[in-house]
Amino acid sequence: MTLTDLPMLSLLIWLPIFGGLILLMMPGEHRGIRTVGLLTALLTFVLSLLLIAGFDSQTYEMQFVERLSWVRAFNIEYYLGIDGFSMPLIVLTTFSTLLVVIAAWEVIKDRLHYYLAAFLIMEGMMIGVFSALDAILFYVFFEAMLIPLFLVIGIWGGPNRVYATIKFFLYTFLGSVFLLLALLYLQFQTGSFAIPDFHAVPLTLNQQIWLFLAFLIAFAVKIPMWPVHTWLPDAHVEAPTGGSIILAAITLKIGGYGLLRFALPITPDASMTLDWLVIMLSLIAVVYIGFVALAQTDMKKLIAYSSIAHMGFVTLGLFIVFRIFANTNNGYGEVLAIEGAMVQMISHGFIAAAMFLSVGVLYDRMHSRDIYAYGGVANRMPVFTAFAVFFAMANAGLPGTSGFVGEFMVILAAFQANFWYAFLAATTLIIGAAYTLWMIKRVFFGEIANEQVAALQDVNRREFLMLATLAAIVLLIGVWPDPLLSVMHASVENLLTQLAQSKL
């Protein structure tokens, strides 16, 4: 029996959910809580590595497909499968969850079993989002993951957590109901809920525009794009470290993934007609939100805004392809744009996770996220400072780190679309460096600011392990992005063929 005969995706979805349910049942003081949590997360991660091993990167066809009837009366299926877009995101999910479990080890003292259970259940749902090929199944996972995240921020969050979590929930819920309407309308047109059928259905431009707008609202809130981004800084600031990691590393990616899976292939003509809108919003995110980040004094808020700016590159990369189609026909720039967007998503997942983890390390010791509460941390925590500076450089897009690869590819592609797109996008290299490095300077360097800082202890072995792993991955993707690119190459080519064909 080979790997592809196993229901790998179902295992990946249900194993963490099952582990989470076990944790829910365990009494709160049980000594095995951490072990169960870690084992589940580790096992899921190993399973996802097997997924890489069994993945065939030569084809754009869906792999590891599982298809069963689920709600027969409405033709809803339990239909799973992955391609080059979803596979890296699934691995990112399993890795981030493992990170969250380890990060919670000694830090979360109140109801740890519920905390871990929430993240494990969420992990299963996020993998479900990335592997669902039935629209309703996708929507179920897409929505259901709000429940654990809502509880995580609300229960373990900061002082203003209730406001932040309700805002987060209602914002994303508002976006996603339009997605539901769009999916129902598409089912009305095709008679099926299978996403591949949606890809094939012909639609008039008018229909496409309405559908596209529905998709855009749903996924723009998740990404989040300016001007529907305001829930993110609030949610990040109030969320516990684990919540921030998952928010930044995975949930934002679901927005980008949604555009790739739904908006672009289902409504290519509307995407082309309205690409100026997305490009404009992306550039505003890159430039304006970059300046907003510069003004922050709360470290988590600063990273949250920087996330929005970085996600602007993802949406920019996805939507400049139409301009590149119009300008050139060497078939090179489009690939660069989409692959750049994908690399940016994966890379941002690791870097943002690392940044939030670093803030978490400081917060656990000082209970403050205010930049001005710090100063001279480098004198007391030299090892930690080395990591923090490295991640800050990666966040600013230093060559040799993963942050550089994605941004550089998108900027390069943007030149083939329009010089000014590239110019504006490239300002991020300056603004991004400014806000990140300025924060680093104020927090880590200079004189020791106060007694609390003077009493700081450097990272322990657990923290070192997490930070070092992240640093290694960021560096690896930075100097050798080729394996990541080759995994998605076939899928990118296929997407571009879909985009080049009008559906009218």
Partner 1 sequence: MPFSLTNPSYALPEMLMLGFALGLLLFIAFTGKEKMNWTFALTQLSLFATALVIVLSMGEQGLAFSDTYIKDSLSDVLKLSICLINMLVLLYSHDYLKDRGLQQGEFYVLVLFATLGMMVLVSASHFLTLYLGLELMSLCLYALVAMHRDSFIATEAAMKYFILGAIASGMLLYGMSIIYGVTGSLALADIAVAIDSGMLNNTVLSFGLVFIVIGVAFKFGAVPFHMWLPDVYQGAPTAVTLFLAAAPKVAAFAMLIRLMVDGLGGVQDAWQDMLIMLAVLSMIVGNLVAIAQTNLKRMLAYSTISHVGFLLLGVLSGTAEGYAASMFYTLIYALMTLGGFGMILLLSKQGFEAEEIADYKGLGKTQPWYALMMLILMFSMAGIPPLAGFYAKLTVIKAVVDVNLITVAVIAVLMSVIGAYYYLRVIKVMYFDAPEQQLTVQVSAPARIMFSSNVLLVLGLGLFPGSLLAICVTVLS
- Decide whether 169 or 313 has the Cβ nearer to partner 1: 169
- The DSSP symbol for 127 reads H
Q: What amino acid is encoded at 65 in this protein?
A: V
User: Of 13, 307, 324, which is closest to residue 144 (Cα–Cα)?
Assistant: 13
Return the closest-CA partner of residue 268 out of 214, 221, 199: 199
Helices (H), 29-134: 33-54, 86-103, 112-131
Q: Decide whether 14 or 291 has the Cβ nearer to partner 1.
A: 14
Nearer to partner 1, 55 or 138 (CB): 138
CA distance 183 to 469: 40
Q: Measured from the CB of residue 178, what is the shortest distance to partner 1 in angstroms?
A: 7
Angstrom distance (rounded) from CA 394 to CA 195? 36
Instruction: Give the shortest CB-283-to-partner 1 separation in angstroms.
Output: 29
Q: Are 440 and 302 in contact (CB under 8 A)?
A: no
Identify the CA nearest to 406 among candidates 496, 350, 342, 483.
342
Closest approach, Cβ 172 to partner 1, in A, equals 10
State which amino acid sits at residue 361. Answer: V
Q: Give the nearest distance from C-beta 199 to partner 1 in angstroms.
A: 20
**CB closer to partner 1, 42 vs 144:** 144
Q: What does the alpha-carbon distance between residue 355 and residue 440 come to, in Å, rounded to a whole number?
A: 11
Question: What are the b/e assignments for 460-478, b being 16+ CB within 10 Å?
Answer: eeebeebbebbbebbeebb
Q: Between residues 118 and 232, which has the closer beta carbon with respect to partner 1?
A: 118
Q: In the complex, what is the shortest distance from the CB of residue 214 to partner 1, in angstroms, rounded to a whole number? A: 10
Cα maximum dimension of the chain: 69
CB of 119 to partner 1, least distance (A): 16
Minimum CB separation of residue 224 from partner 1 in Å reads 17
Cis, peptide link before residue 196, omega less than 30° from 0: no
For residues 189 and 427, which CB has a smaller minimum distance to partner 1 in the complex? 189
Q: Give the CA count within 13 Å in the CB-facing half-sphere of 451.
A: 0
Shortest CB 63 distance to partner 1, Å? 25
Q: Point out which residues pair with 79 in neighbouring strands.
A: 67
Q: Which residue lies nearer to partner 1 by CB, 173 or 419? A: 173
Distance in Å, CB of 324 to partner 1, minimum: 34
Instruction: Give residue for tokens 């080890």.
Output: 105
- Say if residues 263 and 188 touch (Cβ distance below 8 Å): no
CA distance 333 to 325: 8
> What is the rounded CA–CA span in Å between residue 7 and residue 120?
19
Output the smallest distance, CB 72 to partner 1, in A: 6
- CA separation, residue 212 to residues 215, 254, 286 (Å): 5, 17, 22
CB closer to partner 1 out of 188 and 457: 188
CB of 74 to partner 1, least distance (A): 7
Q: State CA 126 to chain mean position distance.
A: 10
What lies within 8 Å, CB to CB, of 261 at 6+ separation is 85, 86, 195
Nearer to partner 1, 19 or 154 (CB): 154
The DSSP code sequence of 164-197 is HHHHHHHHHHHHHHHHHHHHHHHHHHHS--BHHH
Distance CA 69, CA 75 (A): 7
In whole angstroms, the minimum distance from the beta carbon of 13 to partner 1 comes to 12
Amino acid making up residue 308: I
Which CB atom, from 33 or from 336, has the smaller least distance to partner 1? 33
Q: Which is nearer to partner 1, 182 or 470 (CB)?
A: 182
Nearest residue (CB) to partner 1, 147 versus 373: 147
Q: Which residues bind partner 1 (CB under 8 A)?
A: 70-74, 136, 139-141, 143-144, 146-147, 150-151, 154-155, 161-162, 165-166, 169-170, 173-174, 177-178, 180-181, 184-185, 187-188
Residue among 142 and 374 whose Cβ is closer to partner 1 = 142
Minimum distance of partner 1 from residue 167's CB (angstroms) = 11
Which element (helix H / strand E) includes 323? Answer: helix 321-327
Structure tokens at 183: 């999916």
